[in-house]
């Protein structure tokens, strides 16, 4: 993806952080693990 310059959130750090933590929340829910990430919102 780097060779094709296809890095979706490289120029949008706020979106990168948001979607990273949302992904962590989703994965934790999938495995039934509690996660608190309200500080990032």
Question: What are 17-29's pLDDT values in tens digits?
Answer: 888 888 988 999 9
Q: Which residues contact 6 (CB under 8 A, 6 or more apart)?
A: none
- Give the chain's length: 41
Q: Which residues contact 41 (CB under 8 A, 6 or more apart)?
A: 18, 21
The pTM is what?
Answer: 0.59
pLDDT value at residue 38: 65
What is the 8-class DSSP label of residue 17?
A: H
Q: What is the domain partition of the chain in residue ranges? A: 1-41
pLDDT value at residue 21: 87
Give the mean pLDDT of the chain.
81
HEC sequence for 29-41: HHCCCCCCCHHHC
């Amino acid at each position: 993806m780097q060779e094709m310059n296809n890095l979706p959130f490289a120029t949008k750090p706020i979106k990168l952080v948001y979607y990273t933590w949302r992904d962590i929340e989703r994965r934790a829910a999938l495995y039934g693990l509690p996660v608190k990430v309200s500080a990032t919102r």
